[in-house]
Every structure is written in C-alpha cells, then in structure tokens.
Chain A
C-alpha cells in the first residue's frame, strides 16, 4: 500500500479546507462573534491537521495544530477575535498554502517550520510568548495512552493474545526469540472519526517495519490495505527494541486512539490445530493469509525503500525531481454527468449494433442504414457535448482567492474597497480555468492600484469613500465573458497619449490622428505602465500585455470600456471549449472555409441594389442597423465565381457589440469540426485561426471573424 494514491485527494481537500478557512476568517473579521463561523473554522482546521498527519507531513500538522489551538480558545470564549489575530491567522494560512504547493510540486513539505508564526500564535493564546506548547502536545497522547490501554485491559483479554499463529509463523517467532529478539503483540485502536483507516494502519506498519518485523497481523495485511477491518487490528512483531519503543512508534501515528502492547509467548500461542475444529471458511482464508504473511515481510521492507524517493526528500535534503509537478491534474466530476456519459455510451453500442444488422440484412434499401447513421450522429454529438461538460469546471476555483486578495490590498494600499462577484458558477474548460487566474488577478490588482482613487480624492469627486471593484462572469453563446472593473478614476486618454509619445511608442503626429480606442489599445503594449510610481501592487512593466497575450493564447480577446472619472471595465471574452466546434462550411472562390457557428448571428440574402456606400465602404441596412460588408473573396485574394448582379449570401457575424456581413459564394452546411493548429509558418495570415480536416482528407481553413471585422 502506498499513501501516494491518497496524495491527490489530500491536496484537493487541503486546498478546499484552506479556501474555507480563508473565507470564514474573512467573515469572522467582519463579524467577530459569529459562532457558526468559528465552529466551521475549528472543524476545517481540525480536519486539515488530521489529514496532514495521516500523510506524514509533520511540519504542516504542527503548524495547523497551533492554529487549531487558537480557534479552540476562541470557541471556548477564552480569546477575543481582533485584527492582529486575523492578520496572524492569514499569515498562517499563507504558510500552510506554501506547504501544500510544495507538496504538490515535490511530494515533500520542505523544511520550513514557520517557528515565527507558531510563536506568534502562542503569543495570541497566552498573551505572552509561550514556553512549552510543543511539550504540552507531546505529553497529551502519552498521558492518554496508558489510561485507555488500562481500560481496554480491564474489558477482557487484549485481541493480540488471540491471534492465531500458523506453524511456520510460530517457527519464525521462536527463531527470533532464540536470537534474543523480543516478540510483542499489539492491538491498535483507531479513532472512530478517522477517515483513512487503511492509511493509518499503513503508517503503523511502516513505522514498525523500521524497528523490527511484523510477522503476523489480524486481519491480514491484504485486508487492512483494502480497509476490511473495523477500528482495531492486532499484530505480532519481532524486534530488538523495547516494548516502550513499539508503543511510542505506534502512538506517533496520529488518530490512533489507543495501543495495547505486551510480550507474546510463541510457545503458548494458539496453534493452527484449533481452528480446524472451528469452521471451514476461516480456514480457507488462512491459506492465502499464510502465503501473504511471509510475502509481506519483503514487500513491506521494499515499500519504505520505494517511499524514500518522495519522503526521503526531507532527509536527503533538496534533491527533488525538479520541473513538472508530480501530481496529475484532476477534475471532480458530478456523478450525474458520468451517468449521462454512461447512458450515451450504451446508446452508442446500440447504434453500432443496429448499424451492423442494417448493413448485413441484404434486403435493406439503404433507408434503414441512413436512419441508423442519423441516430449514430445524434448520439456522437451528445457524447461529445457530455465529455466536454465533464471537462468543465466552475470558475470559482480561481475567483474564490480574490476576496482575500482585495482585503490584503485594502490594507496595504490604505484604500477602502469592496469586491462584488457574480457568476462564479459559470463553467469553462478546465484548461482555460487554470490559465485565466493570473490575468484576472492582474486586472483586479490594476483596478485596486490604478483605478480606485484614495478616499480623499473620492470624497472630493462626490463618490462614496469605499471603492467598488467587481467581477462579473456570464455565458454568452459559445463564449464566456468575464468583466472586471471598478468605479475609480477611469483611464485618462490624454495621459496615455502623452506617455505613448514620451516612450516613443507613437509620434506626436500619430497621437493626434489616433482614435480614443486606439490610444487605449496602447496600454496593451509591452512595457507600458501609466502609474506615476511603480508600486508593489502593479506597474512593474509587465502587465496588460501579458494579460492580452495570455487571453489570446486561449483564443479569447480583451477589450476595455472606460469613462474618465467613472471607472473602467475590462472585458475578457473566451471560448467555452476549444478543440471541437460547430461551424458553417462555406465556399469562396472555389475554396472551402469554416466559419465558427457561435460568431454567426444570421444569414441574409442581399440584392445588389441594397448595398449603399458610406465613406467609400459598402454597407447594408440590416433592420435599422448599418452593417459594413466584407467581401471575403477580396480579403482572401480569390476571385468570386458569382455573377456580378445576382443576389449575395451574406453571413452576419458579431464581434462584441459590432457586427459585419461577410459575403460568401455559397453555403455548404453545418459541420462539427476538430480544430487543428496551423503552426507558425502561416502565422502571417491573421484571418485564419486554424484548420480542420474534412471527411475526404481535404483541409478547410477556419476563418477568424474577429480578425476580419
């Protein structure tokens, strides 16, 4: 058995608990007497401690333990929540987060003990630097153990005395005894609240294998690994160490309720003959157990060796496999989504079978085959959709960090501000969600730092002193839109222009000729920061350009709306999924192109006399809105094969709030296409976002309507 398999779960849950702690401590800061909140915090801290202990992360466990103590005092009413305490707690959470990150990168918690934080937490508890919080803790279980062991002993004979010993095992035990080793029996009781019993048991075995050899266990090691035991298990161990040492090793594993240990006399052991008279079933089980018992010895001896790699990182110091995180990325999937998938797969199998029977029945006229193909098509479409949904996670996994961040900024900048978030349940592909956190964080910091004015300035402008920062996420067709903004001072276009000229990004003449929008666009240039001073929060010269390139690498786009004195809003538009899309296939000058369906609003049939010229550009009046026409044949350098005076097929596409009409030659129909990257050689063509391979092996290019409009 290997705790490694629990590592993913541990990391997921730790992150969840830490997030919960973060949220609750923030609530507590607002409402220091909220009892539910305190209880919630206590519980989360307790589980976190337990989990860290189970996994053998001692430093993390220690730190959490001290944090838990503080909450325990708060809960008991011995301590009052105050600002200083909250700050310390946040520091502690950050340190814990540090452990988790380190563990997920290297499977090791590192060597930082964060003694300063532990001291600070103790100071909070006692009002003065604590002397022996650690001793205290060590003493506790030690005091508990004998007491409980005593009570156990009172209740009858300890379970380890009843362990049935095979003849071969008996021999091993006797040999060990002859060699002068001690033979002990032990019964370990695990706490009722323990979740990962098997992991605890494993740690017990692992610990004992270090000082001796576990010869027999009941239930068998296999059953213990499979968690097929109640709260206790018994074992016999041969060791050169003392009885106290054995008890100590077992007690070292957390969530162990009690241990009963004593000298085992192999000679007096109940022999295998007894159970022959009992029942046949246990005997049948004995056989594999007997085989397992000797086998476990080398196996478990080997395991610590294997474990050395990750766990030995602490001892060996530093030599970790650098680079890629050791933990596979996981997605938590709603069981309903899996059920849907399962159903679809069954349908797929049915469709396949019907197709086979339709194809083999000679009489068929092709009608039933077609029918089955249609069925198959609908199943595969649904299957694709469902698989995509499985990959979808709500964006709150990244946004939930933000309230804490704004709170910290609040303190460090000395500007009161509030963050409102909506639509955190909006779902996106896991890969997109993972990538979008940093850009969003940057935009929020930007708002806090550059957007929101100092309170005095706000008061002078007649605004409430507390600045408002918001993050709204919502789905819009096949896109997810995330708006991040503030009610601060907005972008000073003139200042940007001056800065642009100063930095030599544009010439003064260019500056005069540029539209407001184009000037704001300068902000996305690399190394362009308008903050008067470079501050800790933002303005390090890497900023909006990074946001832009990140979003674009995800096939999205960033836009900004701003009004001087009223604030600005950054709008990020991202595709919900990548990889597979629905597209309209069109012909232009004999070539086939795909237009993503989600950018298409409507398809119009336009007569030549409906086209008007505005500023020498062709437009049509589409139900009251003037829509520019783009002749794709011209944009794509081909000759349209449509006669001059015939009606034109116009695909109306949308980019944000603008729209335009793309003139095509002919429509081929809708198709589900797999997007393939085009590579850098053809990157000069901005109109093409990728390519797809059609059923006949031919390639069709995918038009990027955003670049065309």
Chain B
C-alpha cells in the first residue's frame, strides 16, 4: 500500500475524492476509499483519544470513526445533513471511518500536477499532507493516510504533550 501511495511519478491519472472541512478542501486517493456513508449513530468508546469518536457497524464489521477536524485541531464537527463518514482502508486492510463536513466531488489529477509536500513543511496541516494538487479550479491538499495510522497519531500525541509541558515550564 505504501508503494501505491508513494509511487506517483509515472505521470498516471489518479482520482481523488475531494472533501471539505469548513473552508478547506482535501483530496483522498480513491483507491483507499472503501465506502462513503451518511452520518449515523456512533457508539462512543470510553477512555480513548478525543478525536476517536467511537465505532460504527459497517456490514457487520466494527469500524472505528475519527474526526478529521479534531485530528487537525480545528473546531469540533457540526453535524449537518451533508456530514459524511468516509470509510478508508488503512495499511493491513483495517477500515477506519473519517468524519468530514461534506463530500464535494471526484477529481482526476495527473500525478505530474501534484507537488510533493516534504516532512516538516510549515504549510497549514502540512504534517498530514502527501502533496498539493493543482487543477483548473485551484489547489487541493492531498491527505497522507499514513499519518492517520494509529501509530503515527500516537507518536504525534506524545510530541504534543511534550510541547505542552515545555510551554508550561
């Protein structure tokens, strides 16, 4: 899967689901999208990270649901009729749901039109992006699903805690 995500230099055409969080747009590689469902009753799981909203039932499978807004430290989700849960396939085939404000459209980009974002990029939300795509309508930030793996989220949480501590001191 990593290969797929990284191997974009062949000039191939890749489709992205473009989602909105507030005013911002993000693209998710369609190959990793399993399903898009309407907002539904989420069963809360106690004692977990604040961005983990709980679990839902997708075809008999228990799938954790995360708030992309909370992960990116934006305001909490406001549930509307347009709110959707994008079910993505993570490494190892686990399904994870991501709450988004709305699904805008599907976008086809030539990989040559996607500019790679390096680690440590100080762009807004740079740490979650694998690249930025240019198209007629403007720019779209491409989400790096690897950064949404539990391990990388946890290590990021730890870094945040350390920062908080040093700030407090």
Chain B residues with Cβ below 8 Å from A701 are 43, 45
Chain A residues with Cβ below 8 Å from B63 are 679
Interface hub of A684, A691, A699 (most chain B Cβ within 10 A): A699
Q: Is the CB of A691 within 8 A of B43?
A: yes
B152: interface (CB < 8 Å):
no
Chain A residues with Cβ below 8 Å from B57 are 693, 697-699
Complex Cα gap A638–B94 (Å): 29
Complex Cα gap A691–B55 (Å): 9
Residues of B36-60 at the interface with A, using a CB-CB cut-off of 8 Å, are 41, 43-49, 52, 55-57, 60
Q: Is the CB of B47 within 8 A of A699?
A: no
Complex Cα gap A636–B45 (Å): 8
Chain B, 80-110, contact with A by CB distance < 8 Å: what is the 0/1 string?
0000000000000010100000000000000
A30: interface (CB < 8 Å):
no
Q: Is the CB of A685 within 8 A of B48?
A: yes
Chain B residues with Cβ below 8 Å from A681 are 48, 52, 64, 66, 94, 96, 150
Contact of A682 among B41, B52, B60, B61 (CB under 8 A): B52
Known contacts: A697-B57, A699-B57. The answer to whether A680 contacts B45 by CB under 8 A is no
Complex Cα gap A430–B94 (Å): 27
Contact of B46 among A636, A678, A680, A698 (CB under 8 A): A636
Chain B residues with Cβ below 8 Å from A684 are 47-49
B70 to chain A, nearest CB (A): 14
Q: Is the CB of A682 within 8 A of B48?
A: yes
Q: Is the CB of A698 within 8 A of B43?
A: yes
Complex Cα gap A638–B61 (Å): 25
Complex Cα gap A637–B41 (Å): 18
Complex Cα gap A678–B150 (Å): 14
B139: interface (CB < 8 Å):
no
Chain A residues with Cβ below 8 Å from B45 are 678, 682, 685, 688, 701
B62: interface (CB < 8 Å):
yes
Known contacts: A680-B150, A699-B57. The answer to whether A686 contacts B47 by CB under 8 A is yes
Complex Cα gap A94–B150 (Å): 46
A282: interface (CB < 8 Å):
no
Chain A residues with Cβ below 8 Å from B44 are 591
Chain B residues with Cβ below 8 Å from A635 are 46
A90: interface (CB < 8 Å):
no
Complex Cα gap A701–B54 (Å): 10
Q: Is the CB of B62 within 8 A of A699?
A: yes
Chain B residues with Cβ below 8 Å from A693 are 57, 60, 62
Q: Is the CB of B64 within 8 A of A677?
A: no
Chain A, 662-702, contact with B by CB distance < 8 Å: what is the 0/1 string?
00000000000000111111101111100101000111110
Chain B, residue nearest A592 (CB): B43
Known contacts: A681-B96, A697-B57, A698-B41. The answer to whether A691 contacts B47 by CB under 8 A is no
- With A684-B49, A693-B60, A699-B55 already in contact, 6 other A-B pairs whose C-beta atoms are closer than 8 Å: A591-B44, A676-B60, A681-B66, A681-B150, A688-B45, A691-B62
B55 to chain A, nearest CB (A): 6
Known contacts: A676-B61, A677-B62, A699-B62. The answer to whether A687 contacts B46 by CB under 8 A is yes
Complex Cα gap A699–B42 (Å): 8
Complex Cα gap A567–B106 (Å): 69
Q: Is the CB of B55 within 8 A of A637?
A: no
Known contacts: A684-B49, A687-B47. The answer to whether A678 contacts B94 by CB under 8 A is no
Complex Cα gap A697–B61 (Å): 11
B95 to chain A, nearest CB (A): 9
Complex Cα gap A677–B60 (Å): 11
- Would you give 14 A-B contacts (Cβ < 8 Å), ordered by A? A676-B62, A679-B62, A680-B150, A681-B64, A681-B96, A682-B45, A682-B55, A684-B48, A685-B45, A687-B46, A693-B57, A697-B57, A698-B57, A700-B43
B119 to chain A, nearest CB (A): 23
Determine the interface band of chain A, counting residues with CB < 8 A from chain B: 20 to 34
Chain A, residue nearest B43 (CB): A699
Chain A, 341-359, contact with B by CB distance < 8 Å: what is the 0/1 string?
0000000000000000000
Chain B residues with Cβ below 8 Å from A638 are 46
Chain B, residue nearest A694 (CB): B57
Chain A: residues with CB nearer than 8 A to chain B? 591, 635-638, 676-682, 684-688, 691, 693, 697-701
Q: Is the CB of A682 within 8 A of B43?
A: no
A363 to chain B, nearest CB (A): 37
Complex Cα gap A660–B60 (Å): 33
Chain A residues with Cβ below 8 Å from B47 are 636-637, 684-687
Chain B residues with Cβ below 8 Å from A678 are 45, 55, 62, 64
Q: Is the CB of A637 within 8 A of B46?
A: yes
Chain B residues with Cβ below 8 Å from A591 are 43-44
B5 to chain A, nearest CB (A): 20
Chain B residues with Cβ below 8 Å from A687 are 46-47
A605 to chain B, nearest CB (A): 26
B35 to chain A, nearest CB (A): 15
Complex Cα gap A574–B34 (Å): 36
A641 to chain B, nearest CB (A): 15
Chain B residues with Cβ below 8 Å from A680 are 94, 150
Chain A, residue nearest B44 (CB): A591
Chain B, residue nearest A591 (CB): B44
Complex Cα gap A685–B63 (Å): 15
Chain A residues with Cβ below 8 Å from B43 are 591, 691, 698-701
Q: Is the CB of B64 within 8 A of A682?
A: yes
B91 to chain A, nearest CB (A): 11
Chain A residues with Cβ below 8 Å from B55 are 678, 682, 691, 699
Chain B residues with Cβ below 8 Å from A698 are 41, 43, 57
Q: Is the CB of A679 within 8 A of B56?
A: no
B63 to chain A, nearest CB (A): 8
Chain A residues with Cβ below 8 Å from B94 are 679-681
Chain A residues with Cβ below 8 Å from B60 are 676, 693
A631 to chain B, nearest CB (A): 13
A701 to chain B, nearest CB (A): 7
Complex Cα gap A15–B44 (Å): 50
Chain A residues with Cβ below 8 Å from B46 are 635-638, 685, 687-688
B22 to chain A, nearest CB (A): 24
Chain A residues with Cβ below 8 Å from B150 are 680-681
The 6 A-B residue pairs with the shortest CB-CB distance, nearest first, are A681-B64, A699-B43, A685-B47, A636-B46, A682-B45, A691-B62
Q: Is the CB of B48 within 8 A of A679?
A: no
Complex Cα gap A700–B94 (Å): 20
Complex Cα gap A684–B49 (Å): 8
Complex Cα gap A251–B115 (Å): 76
Chain B, residue nearest A697 (CB): B57
Q: Is the CB of B56 within 8 A of A699?
A: yes
Complex Cα gap A700–B46 (Å): 12
Chain A, residue nearest B63 (CB): A679
Chain B residues with Cβ below 8 Å from A688 are 45-46
Chain A residues with Cβ below 8 Å from B41 are 698
Complex Cα gap A697–B40 (Å): 11
Complex Cα gap A636–B57 (Å): 21
Chain B, residue nearest A691 (CB): B62
Complex Cα gap A591–B44 (Å): 9
Complex Cα gap A700–B43 (Å): 7
